[in-house]
Amino acid sequence: MASDLNKTLSKVYIGLQLWLLIVIGLGLVFVVILSVSLWLSFRKKTRRGNAMLPLSQAPRVLEEIKEIGVDQASANNGRVNTLNEKFSDRDSEKVLFNVENGNDSSRPGSFNNHVEKDVKGSQPSSHPLTAPSPLSGLSETSRLGWGHWFTLRDLHLATNRFSRDNIIGDGGYGVVYRGNLINGTPVAVKKLLNHTGQADKDFRVEVEAVGHVRHKNLVRLLGYCIEGTQRLLVYEYVNNSNLEQWLRGDMSHKGYLTWEARIKIILGTAKALAYLHEAIEPKVVHRDIKSSNILIDDNFDAKISDFGLAKLLGDGKSYITTRVMGTFGYVAPEYANSGLLNEKSDVYSFGVVLLEAITGRCPIDYGRPKPEVNMVEWLKMMVQLRRSEEVVDPNIETRPSTSALKRALLTALRCVDPDAEKRPKMSQVARMLEAEEYPIPREDRRRRRNQSVNSDVDTQKENSDADRSDIPDPRLGELDRYYEFFVAGMEKNENTKLS
């Protein structure tokens, strides 16, 4: 038996004995199995490595992050397109809406004309950004959608590993660091606090609110970072502090804001809010307009920042109900009392900021006598007492003209009207501040005309020979006459409350 097996294995095939061929075949099978095993093991490790999201790899965009569309009535039978559908990456670097002062901006209605043209889409903006992009020179591989996707390593390098020395602001939302990108661009990096679920919510709010918008008076969101539990937002850096610091004297080593500078800052803020409320869909309600959120650049142009509390208002909604958030002294009364929020809440807050700029005072100051604690109520009292000249910030070296002061006070008082329906739109506010003729509301014109007729009849009957010194001087300008009419209306409302 053994001899037969030996004879069989000793047979020669293709020049080799059979037993040698069997050994060679088994060796080849072993090599193939080993190769397949190693390949499968390598592939499994590669997948695991991708799942771990290394710093050099850009993660996917969260599906929850929605894009703001721009309302164009003439496009696709009223269908709202997203910005990615309308603009390429190159176009996204241009201004989507422009309300800068042109040569004709001083004419009445010029601001509204800009709004109407851009909202309808009939006139594309003719003022592209001429400054180089702050993202130029950065790797294009990490750019997704509208902005730049930064890795955590990028932002560690930019902020010196989030050094305490680089902190420029903090609050309940998180901490803001100053940094420099690898291309030399200065940035402000907002690191959101890792409260359970809150960081994601705050992140989505800010990205939805300002991710796509471009306006010279809005702080530009350059990009963001999501890695693990980290949520970070990267903004352009505005290097001249904020309005609150200038008004409170923190920048006194540089001097104090002139009246002209204050109005320029306030006007820029009004135009930015008009853009958020009236030129994009869904509209954005900031919900935390205050002097510390109005940053100032080297040209003393305003830039609204901090959209962490912003709400989107679309689908034809006139208001939304939400938990009351904001800063004490700036919150509109109807919002504080009922939680009903719309763009008129921002208008009220803007009016408080305008009064801050005029007076230099805090909205609520418990260090003052009781009648002066609430700035808005104190100022209304001073105006009714015909002591408006006394409310001007004493730090203003060259005091404003009487007409300029009345224009600013009228605008502010109309913004802080307790009745939200009577507050003007922000586009109207911008026109009030810059138009040659003060835009008096139609209902006020009609009411004043009726009162004037009745007053003339009563005067002719009862005071034909009396002293007429209390009758308004017909030589007064339209602004002065309306100012007196408005103050008289305030006094009447106050008397009605008391009775």
Average pLDDT over residues 476-480: 78
Q: Which amino acid is at 166?
A: N
Task: At 163, give phi and psi (nearest 5°).
Answer: -65, 145
d(CA 235, CA 207): 11
Task: At 59, give phi and psi (nearest 5°).
Answer: -75, 175
d(CA 23, CA 370): 104
296/441 same-domain check: yes
Is the entire prediction scored with pTM above 0.75?
no
Average pLDDT over residues 124-136: 51
Average pLDDT over residues 52-74: 36
In a domain, 57, yes or no: no
- Kindly state the DSSP code that residue 253 receives in the 8-state scheme: G
381/497 same-domain check: no
**Domain boundary, last residue among 208, 236, 264:** 236
378/458 same-domain check: no
In a domain, 61, yes or no: no
108/158 same-domain check: yes
300/366 same-domain check: yes
Contacts 24+ apart (CB under 8 A), 5-14: none
With a pLDDT cut of 70, the percent of the chain lying above it is: 70
135/25 same-domain check: no
Determine the structural domain holding residue 292 and report its residue range.
253-453
Average pLDDT over residues 465-469: 42
360/489 same-domain check: no
Q: Read off the CATH number of the domain in which 434 is found.
A: 1.10.510.10
409/264 same-domain check: yes
d(CA 272, CA 169): 23
d(CA 385, CA 479): 19
Task: At 414, give phi and psi (nearest 5°).
Answer: -70, -30
With a pLDDT cut of 90, the percent of the chain lying above it is: 41
Nearest to 238 by CA among 223, 218, 253, 252: 218
Extract the tokens encoding 122: 């009939």
In a domain, 41, yes or no: no
Is a pLDDT exceeding 70 seen at residue 481? yes
Q: Which amino acid is at 106?
A: S
Is a pLDDT exceeding 70 seen at residue 135? no
14/143 same-domain check: no
pLDDT of 117: 41
Task: At 365, give phi and psi (nearest 5°).
Answer: -135, 100
338/483 same-domain check: no
**Domain boundary, last residue among 186, 209, 236:** 236
**Which of 277-286, 297-306, 433-442 has the largest mean confidence?**
297-306
Average of per-residue pLDDT values in the chain: 76
pLDDT of 119: 37
Is a pLDDT exceeding 70 seen at residue 423? yes
103/163 same-domain check: yes
In a domain, 244, yes or no: no
In a domain, 80, yes or no: yes
Alpha helices (H) along 275-332: none
Tally the C-alpha atoms within 13 A of residue 238's C-alpha that lie toward its C-beta.
27
Contacts 24+ apart (CB under 8 A), 472-479: 477/403, 478/437, 478/438, 478/440, 479/403, 479/406, 479/407, 479/410, 479/438
Contact 411, 432 (CB under 8 A): yes
468 vs 451 pLDDT, higher one: 451
Q: Read off the CATH number of the domain in which 115 is found.
A: 3.30.200.20
Q: Is 365 a catalytic residue?
A: no
Sequence-separated (6 or more) residues with CB below 8 Å from residue 223: 135, 147, 148, 149, 150, 234
445/474 same-domain check: no
The answer to whether 461 is annotated as binding is: no
Length of the chain: 499
Q: Which residue in the list 71, 154, 288, 301 is annotated as catalytic?
A: 288
Contact 376, 363 (CB under 8 A): yes
In a domain, 60, yes or no: no
Q: Which amino acid is at 272?
A: A
In a domain, 62, yes or no: no
- Domains in the chain: how many in total? 4
